[in-house]
Amino acid sequence: MRRRFRPAVRRAAEEARTHAARSRSAAEKARAPELAADALASAAAKQREAQGHLERQNWAAAKAAFEHAATLFQAAQIRAETARREALRPSPVVVAAAAAPTVRPEPTRPPAAAVITAEPQKPPPTPPPAEAARPAATEQDRIREAIHRYEKALSTLDADVYASVYPSVDRDKIRANFQSLRSQTLEFTIQKIEIAPGGTSASVRGYEKRSAAPRIGSEQRFNGDRVIHLEKRGDSWVIVSVS
């Protein structure tokens, strides 16, 4: 039994390492090194920690650390994508007023006693702050990122993303369930976020709309209230239960 169990745990750790590497690549393609440098650095540190466990053959610890790193890389990717969307918003165009023409006396008339002075131009408004000056993400922002990953995983039938945001689930069982579907869409409308005292757990109340088309059978729909319970791990949040 022990000989069969050890290779299985090692294989799970190596799969988690591959998933973390893919998540890092996606974050870097989204320009996380320049738009979410702090989040990317935290994810990279967790990935190095996981690699250390792997080299010491601590398979279970390596698997957990790689999964955590994948979650952090996905959070960095989402933060970078959000920053890119904000940067693409058009800025207001400021048109400076033309200077008043200089008044010249007529050649055949004596100059007027009064001096006409053009009204000074107003300085242009201060340009918007640079991207680097944007406020840091709040805990509610990070919770919303976790809910976004939950929606994305179920709508794209991605078992790896689902397991990264909901790590207590059975990844193989989820993958088998997803493979039984042709397609699925999910929308979760957040109604209220409640963070518990201490800031390490939270609950999100919302309304979920889900439609699934199985490979065999008719389409299934669910519309109703949901409560998603989350836990903070490092700089990100993961789901611990859905009711």
pLDDT digits (tens, 9 = 90+) for 72-95: 888 889 888 888 887 876 655 444
65 and 164: one domain? no
84 and 142: one domain? no
162 and 243: one domain? yes
Please check whether residue 130 lies inside any domain of the structure. Answer: no
152 and 240: one domain? yes
Cβ–Cβ under 8 Å, residues 17 and 54: yes
The pLDDT of residue 1: 45
155 and 78: one domain? no
* Residue 226: CATH number of its domain: 3.10.450.50
Please check whether residue 150 lies inside any domain of the structure. Answer: yes
Please check whether residue 23 lies inside any domain of the structure. Answer: yes
Cβ–Cβ under 8 Å, residues 121 and 97: yes
Grouping H, G, I as helix, E, B as strand and the rest as coil, residue 12 is helix
The pLDDT of residue 101: 54
Q: pTM of the entire structure?
A: 0.51
Q: Residue 216 pLDDT > 60, yes or no?
A: yes
64 and 151: one domain? no
Per-residue pLDDT tens digits for 117-134: 555 566 666 655 554 455
DSSP-assigned states of every residue in 104-137:
---TTSPPPSS---PPPPPPPPPPPPPGGGSPPP
Range of the domain at 10: 1-88
134 or 35, which is more confident: 35
Bridge partners of residue 194, in order along the sequence? 203
Please check whether residue 115 lies inside any domain of the structure. Answer: no
| The total number of structural domains that make up the chain | 2
Picking from 73, 88, 103, the residue at the C-terminal end of a domain is 88
Please check whether residue 58 lies inside any domain of the structure. Answer: yes
Q: In whole angstroms, give the CA distance from residue 222 to residue 44.
A: 38
Please check whether residue 54 lies inside any domain of the structure. Answer: yes
Per-residue pLDDT tens digits for 36-76: 898 899 899 999 999 999 999 999 999 999 899 888 888 88
